[in-house]
């Protein structure tokens, strides 16, 4: 915990008995303060205005308490729409425009969660909206200017393959780790035998044209391409952590908090791709196409856009007639397998299958061959949860995301809201357990 959050650093242990005694007393005071801080945040979350009022009568300064994300009790109450708790906090001097680490005020959180009565209350106290309409809600990204070809065409002589190794293979190419201007990069290279295949070249150029447009922290970053000479190559950042498939194979089922963080990263990247009016449907979302930035596995990115489709949307309910059986069978939405019209919700279905795999530690229907698994799913079967570690909220979210009716599946922006709320509940419960053990 940061010293400036909970009242300053503790003095160093001294050699004298007096210094030691003072230090011990300070430690006890600090421990008590941390406990009270945890309590007021917990009671604000639980909508217990009486308990909040009692704590403030004992220590008025608790109205300014902060959690690890710099969120105050008023942030917590505003997000949930707890009017009585918020009035109590405001009447006791809570800063109506306090900002958390995302620069959001309580009003921004209330607006993001659409708590209309809370919005009116906060505005009546002078509340202003900063940040991104709630830390739990992704901003709509501003589309970047499209670079000129000269900005990203790479001279193949700049690529050093002297210490390269193959890190992946596809149907028409291989992915190698190489060096570009001294920096490790991933290079997708078209196989020599396919360099004259018109469809392969078309797919390659499509992927390049797509990646040029993408800029997001949870999307593998495009660096450039070789399109004017052979072999054709696509260059992206190199991520040292490998892919999620291998990670899950080694680790098995993830702790719920880790699964939530991983799911948030994937959902953020996908929410960006699904942003209208230029919707990008991934169509092959699976653990092998989710990459870990480093061996610490603290950040994930969505990659491999070889099968992605860029669609100009006239309205949010547009349905697209596209090639059936596109992508990997095990994570495939039933409407794709059945060659029916489908839209961006096919990625939401695949996301559900990945979330299941993270919670269970094994691929969905691992006892079936991929094609048979897809066929089984198309017959309205779904994987069965066995693990006792998962949170009911995560299971409920998974159930909604793999609904047979695509219209019933939430958007990735809605998924983000739900995951953030689940994460907040987990963190609050976690603090409660720590400080009240």
In the set 109, 243, 265, 284, the catalytic residue is: 284
- pLDDT, one tens digit per residue, over 270-322 is 999 998 678 889 888 999 999 999 888 789 999 887 766 655 555 544 554 44
Place of tokens 């709320």: 421
User: Which pLDDT score is estimated for 436?
Assistant: 33
Provide the pLDDT confidence category of residue 234 given band limits of 50, 70 and 90. Answer: very high
> Can you list the domains of the chain with their CATH numbers?
17-137 (1.25.40.20), 149-237 (3.30.200.20), 244-432 (1.10.510.10)
Work out the burial of residue 324: count CB atoms within 10 Å of its CB; fewer than 13 is exposed, 13-18 middle, 19 or more buried.
Answer: middle
188 marked as binding residue: yes
User: Which pLDDT score is estimated for 140?
Assistant: 47
User: Which pLDDT score is estimated for 259?
Assistant: 93
What is the Cα gyration radius of the chain? 25
Does the model's pTM come out above 0.75? no
User: Which pLDDT score is estimated for 316?
Assistant: 47
Give CA–CA dist 149/153, Å, rounded.
6
> Mean per-residue pLDDT for 176-197?
89
> Mean per-residue pLDDT for 182-191?
91
Non-local CB neighbours of 32 within 8 Å, separated by 6+ positions: none
> Mean per-residue pLDDT for 190-195?
82
User: Which pLDDT score is estimated for 27?
Assistant: 65
| Whether pLDDT at 346 is above 60 | yes
| Whether pLDDT at 183 is above 70 | yes
The least confident of 135-144, 151-160, 215-224 is 135-144
Q: Which of 41-45, 149-153, 384-388 has the highest mean pLDDT?
A: 41-45
Would you list the DSSP string of 305-362?
A: -TT-EEEE-SSTT--B---SS-S-GGG--HHHHTT--B-THHHHHHHHHHHHHHHHSS
Concerning whether 284 is annotated as a catalytic residue, the answer is yes
User: How many other β-carbons are positioned within 10 Å of the β-carbon of residue 148?
Assistant: 9
């Amino acid at each position: 915990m940061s010293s400036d959050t909970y009242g300053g650093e503790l003095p160093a242990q001294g050699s004298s008995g007096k210094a030691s005694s003072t230090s011990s007393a300070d430690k006890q005071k600090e421990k008590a303060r941390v406990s009270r801080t945890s309590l007021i945040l917990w009671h604000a979350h639980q909508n217990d205005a009486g308990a909040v009022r009692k704590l403030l009568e004992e220590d008025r300064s608790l109205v300014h308490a902060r959690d690890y994300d710099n969120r105050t009790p008023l942030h917590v109450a505003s997000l949930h729409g707890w009017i009585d708790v918020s009035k109590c906090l405001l009447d006791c001097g809570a800063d109506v425009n306090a900002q958390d680490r995302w620069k959001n005020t309580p009003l921004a959180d209330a607006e993001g969660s659409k708590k209309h009565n809370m919005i009116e209350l906060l505005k009546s106290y002078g509340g202003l909206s900063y940040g991104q309409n709630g830390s739990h809600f992704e901003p709509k990204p501003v589309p970047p200017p499209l670079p000129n070809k000269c900005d990203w065409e790479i001279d193949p002589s700049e690529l050093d393959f002297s210490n390269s190794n193959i890190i992946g293979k596809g149907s028409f190419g291989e992915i190698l780790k190489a060096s570009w201007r001294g920096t490790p990069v991933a290079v997708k290279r078209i196989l020599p035998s396919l360099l004259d295949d018109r469809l392969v070249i078309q797919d390659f150029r499509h992927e390049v044209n797509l990646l040029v447009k993408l800029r997001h922290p949870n999307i593998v970053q495009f660096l450039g391409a070789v399109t004017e000479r052979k072999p054709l190559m696509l260059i992206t950042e190199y991520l040292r952590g490998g892919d999620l498939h291998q990670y899950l194979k080694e680790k098995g089922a993830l702790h719920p908090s880790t699964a939530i963080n991983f799911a948030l990263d994937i959902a953020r990247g996908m929410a960006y791709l699904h942003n209208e009016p230029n919707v990008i449907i991934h169509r092959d979302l699976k653990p092998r196409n989710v990459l870990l930035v480093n061996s610490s596995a603290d950040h994930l990115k969505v990659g491999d856009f070889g099968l992605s489709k860029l669609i100009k949307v006239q309205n949010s309910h547009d349905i697209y007639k596209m090639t059936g059986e596109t992508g990997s069978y095990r994570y495939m939405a039933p409407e794709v397998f059945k060659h029916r019209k489908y839209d961006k919700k096919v990625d939401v279905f695949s996301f559900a299958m990945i979330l299941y795999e993270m919670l269970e530690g094994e691929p969905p229907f691992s006892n079936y061959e991929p094609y048979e698994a897809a066929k089984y799913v198309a017959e309205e079967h779904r994987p069965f949860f066995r693990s006792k570690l998962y949170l009911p909220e995560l299971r409920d979210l998974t159930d909604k995301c793999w609904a047979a009716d695509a219209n019933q599946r939430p958007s990735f922006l809605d998924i983000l809201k739900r995951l953030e709320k689940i994460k907040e509940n987990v963190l609050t419960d976690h603090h409660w357990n720590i400080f009240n053990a």
